[in-house]
Amino acid sequence: MHLESRILITGGAGFLGSHLADRLIALGADVICADNFFTGSRRNIRHLLDNRQFELMRHDITFPLYVEVDEIYNLACPASPVHYQHDPVQTTKTSVHGAINMLGLAKRLRARILQASTSEVYGDPVTHPQTEDYWGNVNPIGPRSCYDEGKRCAETLFFDYRRQHGLGIKVARIFNTYGPRMQPNDGRVVSNFIIQALLGRDLTIYGDGAQTRSFCYVDDLVEAMVRLMATPDEVTGPINLGNPAEMTIRELAEKIIALTGSRSKIVLRPRPADDPYRRKPDITRARETLGWEPQTGLEAGLAPTIAYFEDLLKSIPAGDVDRLLGVGAPI
């Protein structure tokens, strides 16, 4: 990226996209944010609306987009099970049609393009930890398939555009990421537990609590994405981006209860279909290629995340909390 770059972020009003916009603007770039606001929020980018380096476009990337930019970060897609299963056909279209449209734009402009892929391409892995050369264990017809297979197909498209058209691509496989600006109604484990703890409600664990995840703070993840985009053209990825510090879901619940000072109890519910039992990235490639690894410990990252949700809940009238935390509610 040079100082006068114009950069497109699809899904730029979302959790990751808004933090990425902050970072790129701080580096001197002009940022165009394209978002259809299905899961993105104006609240996430309100502080940028008067910034001369920032431009907002309401746009659904399942339709072509015509702008002039130097780089494209393709982040647009519902990323939590609650949201991507809400309209699974649209989720698949966003991953596949959206990739085709953004790759077509990049081809016309000869612009570099980064795909925000996901650890979900590995499915419920039989290899642990997951390395980039593992092909995955994915159910192609299950309730999570719209996201898992949509992202896998998007990766296919990126590499075929690379082979067929010589396009400068970067593919980042993003593992669980958390931080301020997460949607409180997205059904992800960190936001779920924090909201439940702050409201004094039971923390709901789906399964026995022994399943594992690895949690990366959003600032660390954004740093990795910017570094990946800046690599030479021969570096395409895929590259795992995440925190290799693995912990059980029960341990996370206990940690959040302790940090919030909540009296909430932990309750168990049936584990959803195709929910991965273990998830941990092998980030050897990121360390060697990007000189990157996470710098933020879990407690250090949870502190501002909890503070964010505390402020958010204070802004919601008590009688409206349950309604506004429902699926698809505009928060």
> Look-up: residue for tokens 């519902």?
78
Q: Dump the DSSP string for 153-186.
A: HHHHHHHHHHHHH---EEEEEE--EE-TT--TTS
Residue ranges of domains in the chain, CATH in brackets: 6-178+217-241 (3.40.50.720)
What pLDDT, on a 0 to 100 scale, did the predictor assign at position 303? Answer: 98
Angle between helices 249-260 and 298-314 (to 10 degrees): 60
What pLDDT, on a 0 to 100 scale, did the predictor assign at position 26? Answer: 97
List Cβ neighbours of 74 (8 Å cut-off, separation of 6 or more): 10, 11, 61, 98, 99, 102, 113, 114, 115, 116
How large is the greatest C-alpha to C-alpha distance in the chain, in angstroms? 58
- Give dist(CA 218, CA 232) in Å, integer: 24
Among the ranges given (147-161, 182-196, 240-254, 267-281), the one the predictor scored with the smallest mean pLDDT: 267-281
What pLDDT, on a 0 to 100 scale, did the predictor assign at position 64? Answer: 96
* Token pair belonging to 237: 């990825």
Cis peptide leading into 140, omega within 30 of 0?
no
Interval 202-217: pLDDT, tens: 999 998 999 999 999 9
Of the residues 73, 84, 147, 217, which is catalytic?
A: 147
Among the ranges given (58-62, 290-294, 320-324), the one the predictor scored with the smallest mean pLDDT: 320-324
- Please indicate whether residue 147 is annotated as part of the active site: yes
Interval 14-44: pLDDT, tens: 999 999 999 999 999 999 999 999 889 999 9
| Res 331 pLDDT > 50 | no
Q: Name the CA dihedral angle for 10, 15, 18, 21, rounded to a multiple of 10 degrees.
A: -70
Percent of the chain with pLDDT over 70: 95
pTM for the predicted model, two decimal places:
0.93
- Give dist(CA 221, CA 218) in Å, integer: 5
| Res 330 pLDDT > 70 | no
- Give dist(CA 70, CA 256) in Å, integer: 41
